[in-house]
Amino acid sequence: MEVEAKNPISLRVELAGIQMKNPVMVCSGTFGYGEEYSQFMDLGKLGAIVTKSITLLPRAGNRPPRIIETPAGMLNSIGLQNVGLERFVSEKMPFLQEIGIPIIVSISGEDMGEYVELAKRLSDVEDIAGLEINISCPNVSRGGMMFGAEPKVTHELIEAVRGATDLPLIAKLSPNVTNIAEIACAAEEAGADAISLINTLLGMAIDIHTRRPKLANITGGLSGPAIRPVAVRMVWQVAQAVELPVIGMGGIMTAQDAVEFIIAGARAVSVGTANFVNPLAAVEIISGVKSFMIRNHILDINDLVGSLMKEE
């Protein structure tokens, strides 16, 4: 603790102009609209909150069952259930505005026009720090992942949204592609301010006794510790390919996991499935990252970003 007393540890990071007191965020779709977790923790301790993805109109999502456990993870097929733009602004934003940390609103749509309209209208809402452009949801029949599957389509969408708002844009990428670095470069060229990855891997589980899929939607998104090595690899690849800050996610359960992503090149990390296991996961990770820095005499978290040392 002597290091901390003489030289205060800095966890502060800047992400696309967004100032964060620490690099730990919570993933869209795993933290509701923030208020759901307020009884368990002081939300003000987080680096930022990324809201559940919203669409112009309310969505009921896919029919159940739509969440199942898997070895070292879970499959979900929620289908972007959300309250829609108007209720989000009138019912959810007032609570979020009182927390005092950056609020990043995740948006999704069935077509390019919906993304553009959401970005335009959210630009007029106070205290939104940035927009996460969800082009990677695998659990909807239209929109979502189709916009993040090819560089050309990704470029067209991000460019269109960029023209509709001055808010920082974070492109959330899918791992279900051949070359994720190409998609990231397309988003960068189109005007994205940051890249977040990875969203869930497409998976499936079968009940061998009924010979039916365990999810009503048949397939779903795999998350949790099982996908972490894939996520770390993709974060490292994208961090090498773009100049933009990268947000890493995918199976982060502990501070050690978070540090691994940061060393791979992530400027910030986002905690998802861990929130279902332990509602305090994100704040415990913040504390654990700070303890790691103290033990290793690291004064500034930014010194860890992309510090991977390859074997010679």
Closest CA to 28 of 94, 88, 103: 103
The whole-number pLDDT of residue 143 equals 47
Instruction: Name, in order, each residue with C-beta under 8 angstroms of 43's C-beta and a sequence gap of 6 or more.
Output: 34, 37, 49, 99, 101
The whole-number pLDDT of residue 161 equals 98
Taking the CA of residue 68 as centre, how many other CA atoms within 13 Å lie in the half-sphere pointing to its CB? 18
Tell me the domain boundaries of the chain: 2-61+79-202+223-303
User: Contact, 48 vs 103, CB < 8 A?
Assistant: yes
Architecture of domain 2-61+79-202+223-303: Alpha-Beta Barrel (3.20)
The whole-number pLDDT of residue 311 equals 66
CA-CA-CA-CA dihedral for 62, 65, 71, 73, to nearest 10: 40
SS3 percent helix, strand, coil of the chain, rounded to 5, is: 35, 20, 45
Residue 269 tokens read as: 């990390």
Rounded CA-CA distance 246/261 in Å is 10
Q: Per-residue pLDDT tens for 155-189?
A: 999 999 999 999 999 999 999 999 999 999 999 99
Active site residue 27: no
Q: Per-residue pLDDT tens for 72-99?
A: 999 999 999 999 999 999 999 999 999 9
Listed as ranges, residues in the chain with pLDDT below 50 are 1-5, 141, 143
Q: Which of 137, 170, 186, 205 is catalytic?
A: 137
Residue 204 C-alpha from the chain's centroid:
22
Q: pTM here?
A: 0.94
Q: Per-residue pLDDT tens for 262-286?
A: 999 999 999 999 999 999 999 999 9
